[in-house]
Amino acid sequence: MKLNISLTKLIEVIGSEQTVQTDEIINSVAFDTRKIIHPDSTVFFAMEGNFRDGHDFIEDAIAKGIRYLVVQKGKSKLDADAFFIEVDNPLKALQKLAAFHRQKFNYPVIAITGSVGKTIVKEWIYHLISGEMKVVRSPKSYNSQLGVALSILEMSNQHQIALIEAGISKPNEMQSLYEMIRPTQGIFTAIGSAHSENFESLEQKIHEKSILFTGTNATWFNPNIPLSDSQMSEMNAFAVAPEDYKNYLKHAPFQDKASLENVSLSVAFALHLDIDKDLIIERIKTLPRLALRMETFDGIQGNLIINDSYNLDLEALTQSLEYQLSLANGKKRVAIIVADQITENRRLELNQILDQFDLNAIYQITKDETLPLDEINDSVVLIKGSRSAQAQKIAALFQLRKHKTVVEVNFSAIKQNLSYYRNLIESTTKLLVMVKAASYGSGAVKMSEFLEKVGVDYLGVAYADEGVELRNNGITLPILVMNAEEDGFNDIINYQLEPAIYSFEMLESFVKHLIMQNLENYPVHLKIDTGMRRLGFEPAAIHQVIDIFQAQPEIKLKGVYSHLADADNPVDEAFTLNQIKRFEEATAIISERLSYQFIRHILNTEGTARYTQAQMDMVRIGIGIYGYSSNPKVQQHLIPAIGWKSVISQIKKIKQGETVGYSRTFVAPRDMSIAVVPVGYADGFKRSLGNGVGGFYVQEKWCPIIGNVCMDMTMIDVTDVATFEGDGVEIIGENQSLASLSDKMETIPYEVLTSISRRVHRVYLEE
């Protein structure tokens, strides 16, 4: 980002009433304190998001050298050593700055929207034209109200064309995106069901998206979109039918319907720019299968590895380095650049970017060079390069475990699922996310780091040692220990965890521990049994419990909660409503007797969706963030966030009559091809799934299990599948959902996730 705007002009543009006498030049903006690089020429915008408020990080921004901050009126820190620029809405102020910045440039600006395919079309157009033109484009899938503003601010005089994504999820959002982008041309990829619940009709949804193309001199669109004649006229629309581009499409590496539609749009625009037809055909052959998510995993020698090997253009490198900075939290940072060859001019361009980030070490590796692995330890390591340069092989060198079966955790999906639940509740209602049992098998530390980053209010664990692990890894959020035990009281106190107290004996014991350490006002939570008949005080005992709180200065009531036993029952609500009533009566007594406020919470994941009226002060979300709900209406809004993948270790040909596996339970009815997959019941894949009960997907085709599931391996039938050793295998994913696998296991999704062995490598993906 190189804004080159005076602070005085910036204040004028964003509409602040303040004045300042300075010649200070501002070159960049920041909204995340973890990504601040050059504070002396950066303005920090404190913005409120779904999960966190930027005003809470003002002190952190100032501590990192920021001197100018854009804040909401009334939220300046009067005693801070910084200049505060007050506005009604910092996000709107940033959008005004983006709109002003956009007007500096006369080159083509292409806006891309649609329900699906925006990022793919943008990246494929870039692939087709970047050899002839200097392109600035939205990073990854930055297409929101904030993302578009940041994308526009990346425009500079060095570029010749801009490709800007724009996405909306509800009415009245597109106008502000249009004001920033002011596109000269447009691309309308597709219209689908995403966010349809927020629009009155398909026509309204199309109308809202079409606002982006107002007055464009040309807009290319998928003919499946039912545009009206007036809409087509307003945007100078051209329908792009795949049958008109057959000579190009036959060279595409992807032949599914959606991909061919997206290739057609990309080709149509490239031809509009007069890109040579033969060049287009050659580049179509190498269209990338987009890997727009950064893969993060624990590596050897104490390293955290960020594998971002999609491409090596300079803007993508900048975004990756910013992401690395946000994860580092004070750890050493190392960049490994991988390319087939690095010319001297290219090396200079790379160094100009790398030098801005004050890295601890930089390695630029070509295909003929080796990496000194022993030099890299206890660092956050970014591996950046193109797939043709085999950066994936470099990443493999850092793998902590060589088990080829992995669980993929999609942080971007989790973030969207959190947004769904957040939108169900009031902005003042706190959100606690359960991370017990290694965060349902996804990895408690990494998940908690992510949840802290996106601004949840509380974490919940089952036992003290789970909370201690989080504290030892730098997690600072409040942590509720729901099954606190006396043996863990010292750890709870030493690591500032908050215990749930559920019996008089436990309460007395915890108070004694506090007295021994001369502590007062320690935060504790009460659990009340309203019908689960598990842990908790009986409602009739509330007065006696409060007597103890009023008599013992060592403890202070932080929260009161109960647990719903039947919240997922879609037929009979009576039991749940009675639980809520009993809880409200009990907490009313507590409120009457105590002179201070405390947090009340009873809703779990299913309860949050079905009984939102009982959200009180906080809700607790568990498996819902991973994209699973027993409520079909909720499920359609969630995105599956867990994938379980493996590979084919070996393929064998067997003859009719041969047997397979332990106990020879499978006898081949014909000549067959079988594949051996390195996953078994020691990994959490149940033995009961053997002999055709379960199966995997290979090349998107169902392959049933033959014979018994072994401890470390499973055999599947691939007779009718064109596959090879090393090909991918889906255990949970797009074809076999978590719910369908749990049904085959005759259990629930919770058990499936928590049963996946720790030896199965966890990989974290984020857009």
Q: Which residues are designated catalytic?
A: 436, 662
Cα→Cα distances 683→396, 407, 651, 710, 752, Å: 21, 11, 21, 10, 11
The pair of structure tokens assigned to 470 is 């989080």
Q: Are 458 and 482 in contact (CB under 8 A)?
A: no
Taking alpha carbons only, the member of 96, 61, 91, 65 closest to residue 76 is 61
The pair of structure tokens assigned to 750 is 């919770």
Q: Are strands 109-113 and 618-621 parallel, antiparallel or unpaired?
A: unpaired
Cα→Cα distances 266→78, 109, 302, 366, Å: 52, 15, 43, 31
CA separation for the pair 493, 513 (Å, rounded): 9
Strand partners for 594:
none
The values of phi and psi at residue 163, to 5°, are: -115, 110
The beta-strand segments (E) located in 340-457 are: 361-366, 379-385, 406-410, 430-434
Count of Cβ atoms closer than 10 Å to residue 570 Cβ? 11
Q: Are strands 161-165 and 135-137 parallel, antiparallel or unpaired?
A: parallel
Q: Are strands 650-654 and 761-766 parallel, antiparallel or unpaired?
A: unpaired
Length of the chain: 767
H/E segment holding residue 675: strand 672-677
CA separation for the pair 607, 602 (Å, rounded): 8
The values of phi and psi at residue 589, to 5°, are: -65, -45
The pair of structure tokens assigned to 740 is 């369908």
Q: Are 561 and 528 in contact (CB under 8 A)?
A: yes
The pair of structure tokens assigned to 640 is 């599956």
Cα→Cα distances 416→50, 130, 377, Å: 10, 32, 33
CA separation for the pair 370, 677 (Å, rounded): 31
Q: Which residues contact 333 (CB under 8 A, 6 or more apart)?
A: 324, 325, 357, 359, 360, 379, 380, 382
Q: Are strands 361-366 and 332-339 parallel, antiparallel or unpaired?
A: parallel
Taking alpha carbons only, the member of 314, 389, 327 closest to residue 354 is 314
